[in-house]
Amino acid sequence: MLFDLDLIKNVYASFEDKLKDARNTLNRPLTLTEKILYSHLHKDQPIKEFKRGEDYVNFAPDRVAMQDATAQMALLQFMNAGRNKVAVPSTVHCDHLIQAQVGAEKDLSTAWNQNSEVFEFLKSVSKKYGIGFWEPGAGIIHQVVLENYAFPGGMMIGTDSHTVNAGGLGMVAIGVGGADAVDVMADMPWELKMPKLIGVKLTGKLSGWASSKDVILKVAEILTAKGGTGFILEYFGEGANSISCTGKGTICNMGAEIGATTSLFGYDNRMSDYLQNTGREDVAELANQMTANLTGDKEVYDNPDQYFDKVIEINLSEIEPLVNGPFTPDLAHPISKLGDNATKNDYPLDIEVGLIGSCTNSSYEDLTRAASIAKQAKEKKLKVKTEFMVTPGSEMIRYTTERDGVLKYFEDIGGVVLANACGPCIGQWKRHTDDPERKNTILTSFNRNFAKRNDGNPNTHGFVSSPELVTALTIGGTLTFNPMKDSLINEDGEEVYLDPPTGEEFPQQGFDLKEMGFIPPAKDSSDVEIVVKEDSNRLQLLEPFPANNEKDIKDLKLLIKAKGKCTTDHISMAGPWLRFRGHLDNISDNLLQGAVNEFHNKANYTKNQVNGEYDKTPGVARAYKEAGVQSFIIGDENYGEGSSREHAAMEPRHMGVRVVIVRSFARIHETNLKKQGILALTFANPADYDKIKEDDTINVLDIDKLAPGKDVTVVINHKDGATEKIMAKHTYSPVQIEWFHAGSALNLIRKQNQ
């Protein structure tokens, strides 16, 4: 048994009393989100009715999960926190560092050869500090968490944006940076601004080609890529019960694509079935005894407008399958309009690669539905027209689907099965292409489709859809193919049609696997040695950042004024850079490579104010660092959207960036900047963005008096000698102000543990 039954029993044992307190305090019916949040307040957090979207609240999550790319920096930081063991059950999952090239077996052995130093480091730190370790090939973090650790009514954080996947099993699960994981593992309160709530009422029933993926693609269309920022989405209504637990996971997973803090569903019999089918009958039994506590109150769902900040309603019976993209997950095309829209917008029509699986969509149900299309294709003498790749989410899924002949259906039509790892989803993909300059289209059942996300190529137009639709369109070979009505010509020249997909929620013979690839936390770890070589270019022990103890921050030179979308991928690119995730100095050479310079409309190009010359953005940052020049960054709307990558905050700090001023921030990135001791500000008047010129320096005044709710004065010094004073807002809480003055959150934790 991997899950900690005692932990779940403890959570449930105190749930009732904590809920009573919450009911007495709020004096009204409660949403499920409120039930979970109020029952997970940190012991030092006095209860009151917290103002959504305003109050910072201290929580005590039950678990921490980390993936190998983010775990490196999280654990390097945890090693500096002054503790012997982690304070809550925690796990490390090796999934991001495995590059997809030719297929599972070879790719996995290549990954071991290339990353053994990092894997061994993670294994030894896990052993030393009581952390469960999932080896490369064991599975993708969110699938493994759903299969083993998630439980209804629980709260967890994970160092990956798609931690929210566990909402499919009724958990408040939130993606954070490594520094937040350090807080929780070090028994510090974990702070979050009380999220606002969006209620999503589901009516009707999915059928035919429509799947759970289409529900979230529809929600993304309605709310847009930043419409969920600062919100938790709570799904309810009779339609919810028509969606499997893993389907709910898919919907929650992609809540990250609309910026939502997390998403969740109330406990139901589909979750109970999933727990029982994944060896957690005990958990199902416990949850079944308190179902009323594990869903929102009936009065809430009867009058949602009264209790949620916003309500949207979706009739599942009316959902048409969607294909969203390119470059953004909220640009939805109903399958009946995809061809026309693609032609009108001049998207490349031929699909060059189809990819299914990933943490978003690799349940047994997903793969069997997609396989039903592949099976028909074989029977009807069709093959995929192009490359087709399948990523199982875990070894349990891979083993079971192989045993049941599901994977064979994909291979029969030309599919290649990749390792149980992130691979192309995170840009860990050695894509075979004859011409990278060609505008091209790929179609995936993943979650993200930012430019360059999958293969690092800006010419690639990435679209996301359900696994069954990706499979069908890869067989059709073009965006103009609508499998719901169009025919295809088979090998014999006959006209054939594909029938709607069918799938199975659970394997008839049950899930199985031979090698789990899991190393449980060691009982005695006193003799475990952690090795980080001095000359390693993959790992580097951390030096604390200096304190921010001046009165004013002066003479900061502009590093870059970023225009438009600037995600954490633009700030700290993934792909080949993943290998330096444990080495701050080396990875800093990718700083802001993807950010578009407002003055020149070009990425990776900025002016070095010291010598007046133009260079690549990280080159200028490096030159500033070497010259001891401190700098600032200007950003546009939703700056830092996308992921929990704290490297996107540590790198600028390492390179001497002191202040980031934006029109608006994505939540996780804003917190990460605060944790690393960078001053994160927003323009009080968004139009002041236009006042920043290429040769400007700025002074930020009175930071020694930084106080909650008090605006900060920024003086802009233009090259011609003119100065302008503008005001900037911030969202620092009292403790975050302490982080800032200490130089970083970790500096403060260490001081408190000493």
Chain positions contacting ligand F3S, by CB under 6 A: 95, 140-142, 160, 162, 358-359, 422, 425-426, 446-447
Between 231 and 446, CB nearer to ligand F3S: 446
Between 154 and 423, CB nearer to ligand F3S: 423
Name the residue type at position 32: L
Task: Give the count of beta carbons closer than 10 Å to the beta carbon of residue 87.
Answer: 15
d(CA 611, CA 605): 15
* Smallest distance from ligand F3S to CB 446, Å: 6
* Smallest distance from ligand F3S to CB 512, Å: 23
Between 139 and 239, CB nearer to ligand F3S: 139
Between 131 and 145, CB nearer to ligand F3S: 145
- Annotated active-site residue 160? The verdict is yes
Question: Which of these is catalytic: 242, 643, 644, 744?
Answer: 643
- Contact status, residue 743 vs residue 545, Cβ threshold 8 Å: yes
Between 67 and 293, CB nearer to ligand F3S: 67
- Contact status, residue 713 vs residue 701, Cβ threshold 8 Å: yes
Comparing CA positions, the residue from 697, 404, 666, 447 lying closest to residue 557 is 697
Question: Which of these is catalytic: 62, 68, 107, 160?
Answer: 160
* Smallest distance from ligand F3S to CB 163, Å: 9
* Smallest distance from ligand F3S to CB 141, Å: 5
- Contact status, residue 697 vs residue 556, Cβ threshold 8 Å: yes
Question: Which of these is catalytic: 93, 645, 653, 667?
Answer: 645
Question: Which of these is catalytic: 142, 333, 448, 453?
Answer: 448
d(CA 220, CA 229): 12
Q: Could you please report the per-residue DSSP string of 337-389?
A: HHHHHHHHTT---BEEEEEEETTTS-SHHHHHHHHHHHHHHHHTT---SSEEE
Question: Which of these is catalytic: 95, 107, 297, 636?
Answer: 95
- Annotated active-site residue 645? The verdict is yes
Name the residue type at position 290: M
d(CA 631, CA 628): 10
Q: Which residue in this structure is represented by tokens 């070497």?
A: 626
Between 358 and 572, CB nearer to ligand F3S: 358
> DSSP class of residue 547?
P
* Smallest distance from ligand F3S to CB 383, Å: 27
In 490-577, the DSSP E strands lie at: 495-496, 518-519, 553-561
Planar angle of CA 735, 738, 744, nearest 5 degrees: 110
Between 140 and 356, CB nearer to ligand F3S: 140
Q: Could you please report the per-residue DSSP string of 257-284?
A: GGTBSEEEE---HHHHHHHHHTT-HHHH
- Annotated active-site residue 643? The verdict is yes
Between 464 and 673, CB nearer to ligand F3S: 464
- Specify the 3-state DSSP secondary structure of 199: strand
Contacts of 621 (CB under 8 A, 6+ apart): 559, 588, 591, 592, 631, 652, 655, 656, 657
Phi, then psi, of 664 in degrees rounded to 5: -160, 155
Pair type for strands 440-444 and 460-464 = parallel
* Smallest distance from ligand F3S to CB 609, Å: 37
* Smallest distance from ligand F3S to CB 347, Å: 23
Task: Give the count of beta carbons closer than 10 Å to the beta carbon of residue 499.
Answer: 12
Task: Give the count of beta carbons closer than 10 Å to the beta carbon of residue 599.
Answer: 15
Contacts of 263 (CB under 8 A, 6+ apart): 164, 167, 232, 233, 234, 235, 251, 252, 255
Between 250 and 608, CB nearer to ligand F3S: 250
Between 160 and 180, CB nearer to ligand F3S: 160
Task: Give the count of beta carbons closer than 10 Å to the beta carbon of residue 550.
Answer: 11
Alpha-carbon torsion angle 278, 283, 285, 289, nearest 10: -140
Between 158 and 582, CB nearer to ligand F3S: 158
> DSSP class of residue 640?
T
Comparing CA positions, the residue from 384, 467, 389 lying closest to residue 431 is 389
| Buried-state track 462-477, b at ≥16 Cβ within 10 A, e below 16 | bbbbbbbbbbbbbbbb
- Annotated active-site residue 95? The verdict is yes
Name the residue type at position 210: A
- Annotated active-site residue 448? The verdict is yes
- Contact status, residue 545 vs residue 653, Cβ threshold 8 Å: yes
- Annotated active-site residue 538? The verdict is no
Question: Which of these is catalytic: 52, 96, 453, 583?
Answer: 96
Comparing CA positions, the residue from 151, 134, 147, 152 lying closest to residue 66 is 134
The residues annotated with a catalytic role in the active site are 95-96, 160, 448, 643, 645
